[in-house]
């Protein structure tokens, strides 16, 4: 598809999503029913035909919500592996593998593997955490009932709910789920639907046949897909199915809503841009510098990779993940389940909380908050214990009027307590707990639940069953039973058995029960409960001071005013009345009825208006008995009260600068009342100002005029806002500091969130219903209720409040702010190590010193020693003012700031780097390598891999026991095998050091038959690596540079005597010797023998070289080794190596391309004989060539330095030549104690390069090995300093 097609699709998608944001546009509720049925093509008495159903199924599809297009799991997993930070780590890994392919360094290989491992593991973790889209749609599917009863072709049948179509006539009853959007055709008087999931209304809503409102969500003749039927029954016609239902639009809106990038994700992205920019800048900068100073390109590339990788915070991803996980675990202990780890910090960045009311700010439990009953002179309003009244209880239980009010509320009531909830149960939840006598243990009526914030919420442990309002009444009555058993609900109902009932219905708006009183006359009493205006109008008397008195107009007005005041505060009022009947007329066997053959009204008093002459269609008239007035007992005002912990939590939000907005589907009056109670509103609203101005006739300019434009509080009904409003209108509304949105639709909630985000807020949204899911998903962090929340809202959310407590959100805000502060500390701590990690590379490149820190140790720091202290920052306690600060400004208060970079890099980083270099140099100096000999001697293929030569001023050569040889002057004499160590003593020091010049080798390969112990398999090929020659060793010695093995190294803990006689079969890291070593690595170290120029060129030195310099940066050699004034004499024990140049030879700094390798075979070139130890008369001899390999029986041992071949202890007593010293005049056949040069026995006895006949090839590697071990210990000291820093370092920003 071309770009224009893509643009068109995007435009259509945006348009479709904007349409979904608009309020539901449904007209079927206003359409004339006959016209609607005709349009749908259905006869309500017969239903649809089978052919119609088949046609409609083909036309509109099944009654299912269309799932969104899903990316394959492998694509989503791949996306997790290719996030921005992951790409940075991938780049680092690839660079490591490139480095390994160039120099075969295992450090690079291991680092690359670990980086890949880190990316894959964190990718798997993120993939598991973020796989939520499928479950979101599945939760919508759970709202569909499996089967539904339909009328088709004149008969009823049960069909799959997925197979119903528009026009189907369906039947629903109590307990059913509504299978599609319905228009009510017929229903019972008590038919109700629970719209809480759709609109957020806390109480079931009445439904009837007639249209009652233009708004489809407000009218009573529609039922919506996914809502529940608590009671009653109905017959309806399907007007919409699947995606076309109101719930389908919400599902589409929720699925099309894109999740906002979390603040912490933005911050990490910002940090990566900074750190990768620094890494690339430094890498390229020093690559260019290296080119300028002449570093070979391959070596330059390897170290550019090292610098870039050193800057990559390999452990950051794991550190952030672990820190967020630890915080999530702490939040779980506070009853907050975190689904999206990044949401932990998002909550801390929140500047605006859009909170649902029901179940979040309130308890979602209807409770009696106020009671009105007769006092001594008039009716009065008193508090009932609830969080709405701050737990106050001001009613007088001894008051007879109040006692009768309680009695009426318990008797005129069908709610009950679940019997099973009245007992204690074992852990299995089935078996009742028994006391010592074997009797079941009753459960307390009340108890306390511990909330996530640590507070305790008093709750009713007995579970009520029934209408929410009636449940609230029996809970109030039962709560007094602990002090007075007369108020036990079961006891009351047994004492007052019911005789007759008129159920509540929407027409009468009252409920009547007749009970038999527990007196000798078995007198009956009428109990009535209902809408206050209906109850008051039926009462002619009232109960005051325990006495029945006539209702006066003044008292009637007083009662009505109190009722209006309660309603104005969002409480739902119910009135109560009773009348004790004359036992002479209403005897125990009296037959109560709502109508009789003669009368169309009840045959007992209910206070109806007198209409004696009005007849119904059957000629019946009113029964005069029913007009007898009742006695008014009082009112009960109910509300879903706020949670006790919410007001202080909201106050804490204000202190923290977090704006709390109520967004509810409930009525404005109720929403406003709760908002005042919890502290979301605390001043006069704009609407109240306008009403008061109108009520009291105030005009602008009047002294007492209240200007609505000055109001800081506003209550916004949902019908006044829409997606089409301008930004200026939204800015006006959201500019208020106190805001309540009421009667909002799901679409409006989403738009409210979007406009808050447009203003720059980090928005948290709480909700429990399906209607909240689009806003929850759109929010920066969505929060669902764990107890009362729907599965849809839980799946759309980033975190779940397991206790449905708003106060837990505030605790989460504190934890989120804390984790941001702690992550800032962790990152500051982590990036401090970048300078100490980079500067070793820079020093290596600029000054060519031995590398102070390897990439492996960098990895050990980043993923080892640094990670644990960095993670430990997550345990830091909050600062005292953490909830007194305003929310952070995401544009200025970044996770990584210039100040932090300056502090971490420019100050702490350099201090740590200098301290690291200090420890590094101290350790090298302690092992015999002072700082003066380090610069320009640190080539990676020299230090620790080749012999090190130094010019000494005095000092002593000592043997393995530390005994000095007084006959050797280190200023002029070379060390011997018996006295290989240089000890500075009191007057000695090192003047200068260097390597032998590396002027041998070529790009070719030695061939398939190459065996490193067999000189005959060598040719001039060294795979591009350079090697020193025997002549370069001898040239150094001739100029006073001798092989350096520091006595300080001998006295170190790493010393091994075998360094003086190493078995070349054993793999050795620094020298790359040993069986199975790759050729690429073998030629980077010291070979198992000697290359010679003169032996390859018939005793001539200077005629076979290329016009290419042999000088290597970081491999400085003594300048005097290149003869400029006079030829050099290349001799071993006084015998010329370059014998065809008797006057001496002139060595250059050119690269020689003709050399031969000698390591002890008799059939090597003639000039190798002297190098190997053969003398002129073919008699076994012993040379002083300390650089050549030697051979030992069975195992490598110390090679004694014998100047005279006749001193070699041979034994001929048996006539057979054997080796070994004389022991008690006999020959010792054990030869493994002494070792000899190869010509002692020749090739036949030795058995060739493979060590046959029990002989081993050995080599003195002490000079290179001590340098290698000293460097490793110095690098370890550099690393150790980081470890100490990790153990003790505390960052304070």
Q: List CB contacts of 75: < 8 A, sequence separation 6 or more.
A: none
Query: What one-character-per-residue DSSP string does 579-611 give?
Result: EEPPTTTS-TT----S--SSBSS-SS---PPP-
13 exposed, middle or buried (CB, 10 Å; 0-12, 13-18, 19+)? exposed
For this structure, is 43 an active site residue?
no
Length of the chain measured in residues: 1293
Question: Distances in Å between the alpha carbon of 218 and those of 13, 206, 215, 719, 775?
Answer: 30, 11, 5, 11, 21
Query: What one-character-per-residue DSSP string does 471-530 give?
Result: HHHHHHHHHTTTT-GGG-HHHHHHHS-EEEEE---TTT-EEEEEEE-SSTT--EEEEEEE
Looking at the DSSP bridge assignments, the partners of residue 527 are 513, 578
Does residue 994 contact residue 949 with C-beta atoms inside 8 Å? yes
Q: Would you give the DSSP letter of residue 1017?
A: G
Which among 583, 576, 568, 584 has a CA at the least distance from the CA of 639?
568
Does residue 1137 contact residue 1031 with C-beta atoms inside 8 Å? yes
Other CB atoms within a 10 A radius of the CB of residue 1224 amount to: 5
How many Å separate Cα 913 from the centre of its chain?
Answer: 33
CA–CA dist 559, 632 (Å, integer): 10
Pairing of the two strands 1150-1152 and 1105-1109: antiparallel
CA angle 970, 974, 977 (to 5 degrees): 115
- Tokens 């290179």: give the residue: 1264
Q: Would you give the DSSP letter of residue 1223?
A: E
SS3 95: helix
How many Å separate Cα 354 from the centre of its chain?
Answer: 23
Which helix (DSSP H) or strand (DSSP E) does residue 450 occupy?
strand 446-450
Which among 954, 1143, 951 has a CA at the least distance from the CA of 1039?
951
Long-range contacts of 503-509 (CB under 8 A, 24+ apart): 503/189, 503/190, 504/190, 504/529, 504/530, 505/189, 505/190, 506/189, 506/190, 506/206, 506/208, 507/189, 508/534, 509/534
Does residue 159 contact residue 150 with C-beta atoms inside 8 Å? yes
628 exposed, middle or buried (CB, 10 Å; 0-12, 13-18, 19+)? middle
1177 exposed, middle or buried (CB, 10 Å; 0-12, 13-18, 19+)? exposed
CA–CA dist 1089, 1171 (Å, integer): 10
How many Å separate Cα 262 from the centre of its chain?
Answer: 11
How far separated are the first and last CA of the chain, in Å rounded?
52
CA–CA dist 1218, 1241 (Å, integer): 10
Rounded to 5 degrees, φ, ψ at 1047 are -60, -30
CA–CA dist 904, 333 (Å, integer): 34
Does residue 865 contact residue 1283 with C-beta atoms inside 8 Å? yes
Long-range contacts of 511-516 (CB under 8 A, 24+ apart): 511/412, 512/412, 512/602, 512/606, 513/411, 513/412, 513/413, 514/581, 514/592, 514/604, 515/411, 516/588
Selecting among 356, 488, 772, 862, the annotated active-site residue is 356
- Residues 1241, 1243, 1248, 1252: is their CA dihedral positive or negative? negative
The residues that are catalytic are 356
């Amino acid at each position: 598809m071309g770009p224009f097609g893509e643009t068109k699709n995007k435009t259509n998608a945006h348009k479709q999503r904007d349409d979904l944001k608009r309020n539901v546009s449904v007209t079927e509720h206003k359409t004339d029913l006959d016209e609607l049925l005709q349009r749908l093509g259905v006869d309500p008495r017969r239903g649809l035909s089978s052919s119609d159903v088949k046609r409609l199924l083909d036309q509109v599809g099944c009654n299912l919500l269309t799932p969104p297009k899903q990316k394959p799991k492998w694509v989503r997993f791949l996306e997790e592996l290719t996030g921005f930070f992951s790409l940075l780590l991938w780049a680092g890994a690839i660079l490591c593998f490139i480095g390994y392919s160039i120099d075969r360094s295992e450090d690079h290989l291991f680092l690359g593997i670990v980086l890949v491992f880190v990316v894959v593991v964190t990718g798997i973790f993120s993939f598991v955490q973020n796989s939520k889209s499928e479950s979101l749609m599945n939760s919508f599917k759970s709202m569909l009932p499996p089967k539904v009863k339909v009328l088709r072709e004149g008969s009823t049948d049960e069909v799959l709910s997925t197979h119903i179509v528009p026009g189907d006539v369906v039947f629903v009853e109590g307990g059913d789920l509504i299978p599609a959007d319905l228009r009510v055709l017929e229903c019972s008087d008590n038919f109700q639907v629970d719209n809480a999931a759709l609109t957020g209304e806390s109480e079931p809503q009445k439904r009837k046949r007639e249209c009652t409102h233009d708004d489809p969500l407000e009218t009573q003749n529609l039922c919506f897909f996914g809502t529940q039927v608590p009671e009653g029954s109905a017959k309806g016609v399907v007007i919409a199915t699947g995606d076309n239902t109101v719930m389908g639009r919400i599902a589409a809106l929720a699925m099309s809503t894109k999740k906002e990038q979390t603040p912490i994700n933005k911050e990490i992205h910002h940090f990566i841009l900074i750190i990768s920019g620094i890494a690339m800048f430094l890498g390229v900068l020093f690559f260019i510098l290296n080119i300028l100073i002449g570093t070979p390109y391959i070596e330059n590339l390897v170290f550019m990779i090292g610098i870039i990788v050193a800057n990559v915070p390999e452990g950051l991803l794991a550190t952030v993940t672990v820190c967020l996980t630890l915080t999530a675990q702490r939040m779980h202990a506070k009853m907050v389940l975190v689904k999206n780890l990044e949401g932990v910090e998002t909550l801390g960045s929140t500047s605006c909380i859009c909170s649902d009311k029901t179940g979040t700010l309130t308890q979602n439990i209807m409770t009696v908050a106020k009671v009105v009953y007769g006092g001594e002179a008039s009716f009065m309003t008193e508090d009932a214990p609830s969080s709405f009244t701050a737990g106050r209880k001001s009613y007088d239980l001894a008051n007879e009027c109040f006692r009768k009010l309680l009695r009426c509320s318990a008797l005129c009531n069908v709610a009950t307590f679940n019997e099973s909830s009245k007992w204690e149960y074992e852990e299995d939840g089935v078996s009742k707990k028994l006391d010592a006598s074997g009797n079941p243990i009753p459960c307390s009526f009340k108890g306390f639940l511990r909330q996530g914030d640590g507070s305790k919420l008093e709750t009713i442990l007995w579970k009520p069953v029934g209408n929410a309002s009636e449940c609230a009444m029996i809970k109030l009555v039962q709560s007094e039973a602990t002090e007075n058993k007369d108020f036990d609900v079961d006891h009351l109902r047994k004492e007052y058995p019911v005789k007759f009932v008129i159920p509540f219905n929407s027409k009468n708006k009252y409920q009547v029960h007749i009970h038999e009183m527990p007196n000798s006359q078995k007198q009956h009493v009428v109990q009535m409960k209902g809408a206050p205006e209906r109850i008051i109008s039926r009462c002619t008397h009232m109960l005051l001071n325990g006495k029945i008195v006539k209702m006066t107009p003044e008292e009637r007005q007083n009662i009505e005013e109190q009722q209006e005041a309660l309603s104005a505060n969002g409480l739902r009022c119910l009135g109560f009345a009773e009348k004790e009947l004359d036992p002479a007329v209403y005897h125990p066997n009296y037959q109560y009825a709502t109508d009789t053959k003669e009368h169309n009204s009840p045959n007992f008093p209910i206070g109806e208006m007198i209409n004696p002459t009005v007849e119904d269609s059957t000629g019946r008239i009113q029964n005069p008995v029913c007009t007898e007035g009742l006695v008014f007992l009082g009112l009960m005002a109910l509300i879903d009260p706020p949670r006790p912990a919410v007001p202080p939590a909201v106050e804490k939000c204000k202190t923290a600068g977090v704006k709390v907005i109520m967004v509810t589907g409930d009525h404005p009056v109720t929403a406003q009342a709760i908002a005042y109670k919890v502290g979301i509103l605390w001043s006069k609203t704009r609407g109240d100002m306008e009403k008061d101005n109108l009520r009291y006739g105030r005009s602008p300019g009047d002294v007492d005029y209240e200007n609505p434009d000055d109001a800081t509080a506003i209550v916004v009904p949902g019908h006044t806002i829409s997606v089409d409003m301008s930004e200026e209108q939204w800015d006006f509304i959201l500019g208020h500091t106190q805001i309540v949105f009421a009667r909002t639709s799901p679409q409006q909630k989403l738009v409210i969130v979007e406009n808050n985000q447009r203003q720059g807020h980090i928005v948290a949204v709480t909700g429990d219903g399906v209607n909240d899911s689009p806003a929850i998903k759109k929010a920066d962090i969505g929060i669902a209720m764990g107890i009362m929340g729907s599965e849809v809202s839980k799946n759309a959310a980033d975190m779940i409040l397991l206790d449905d407590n708003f106060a837990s959100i505030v605790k989460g805000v504190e934890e989120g702010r804390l984790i941001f502060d702690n992550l800032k500390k962790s990152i500051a701590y982590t990036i401090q190590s970048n300078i100490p990690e980079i500067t070793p590379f820079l020093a290596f490149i600029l000054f060519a010193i031995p590398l102070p820190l390897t990439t492996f140790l960098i990895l050990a720091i980043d993923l080892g020693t640094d990670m644990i202290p960095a993670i430990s920052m997550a345990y830091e306690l909050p600062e005292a003012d953490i909830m007194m600060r305003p929310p952070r400004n995401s544009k200025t208060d970044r996770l990584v700031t210039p100040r932090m970079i300056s502090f971490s890099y420019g100050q702490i980083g350099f201090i740590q780097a200098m301290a690291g270099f200090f420890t590094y140099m101290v350790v090298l100096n302690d092992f015999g390598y002072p700082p003066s000999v380090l610069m320009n001697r640190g080539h990676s293929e020299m230090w620790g891999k080749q012999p090190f030569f130094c010019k000494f001023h005095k000092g002593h050569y000592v043997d393995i026991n530390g005994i000095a040889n007084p006959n050797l002057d280190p200023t002029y004499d070379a060390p011997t095998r018996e006295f290989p160590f240089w000890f500075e003593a009191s007057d000695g020091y090192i003047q200068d050091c260097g390597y032998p010049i590396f002027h041998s080798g070529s790009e070719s390969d030695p061939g398939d038959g190459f065996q490193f112990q067999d000189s005959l398999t060598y040719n001039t090929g060294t795979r591009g690596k350079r090697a020193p020659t025997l002549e370069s060793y001898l040239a150094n010695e001739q100029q006073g540079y001798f092989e350096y093995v520091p006595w300080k190294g001998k006295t170190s803990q790493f010393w091994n005597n075998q360094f003086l006689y190493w078995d070349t079969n054993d793999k050795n890291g620094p020298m790359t010797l040993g069986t199975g070593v790759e050729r690429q690595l073998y030629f980077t170290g010291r070979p198992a023998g000697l290359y010679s120029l003169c032996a390859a060129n018939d005793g001539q030195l200077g005629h076979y070289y290329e016009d290419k310099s042999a000088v290597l940066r970081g491999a400085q050699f003594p300048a005097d080794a290149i003869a400029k004034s006079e030829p050099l004499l290349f001799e071993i024990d006084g015998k010329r190596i370059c014998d065809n140049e008797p006057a001496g030879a002139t060595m250059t700094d050119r690269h020689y391309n003709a050399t031969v390798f000698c390591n002890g075979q008799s059939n090597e070139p003639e000039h190798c004989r002297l190098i190997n130890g053969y003398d002129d008369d073919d008699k076994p001899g012993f040379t002083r060539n300390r650089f050549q390999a030697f051979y030992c029986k069975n195992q490598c041992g110390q090679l004694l330095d014998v100047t005279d071949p006749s001193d070699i202890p041979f034994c001929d007593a048996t006539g057979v030549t054997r080796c070994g010293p004389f022991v008690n005049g006999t020959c010792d056949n054990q030869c493994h104690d002494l070792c000899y040069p190869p010509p002692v026995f020749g090739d036949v006895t030795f058995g060739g390069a493979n060590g046959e006949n029990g002989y081993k090839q050995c080599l003195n590697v002490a000079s290179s090995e001590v340098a290698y071990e000293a460097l490793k210990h110095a690098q370890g000291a550099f690393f150790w300093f980081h470890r100490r820093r990790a153990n003790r370092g505390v960052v304070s920003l």
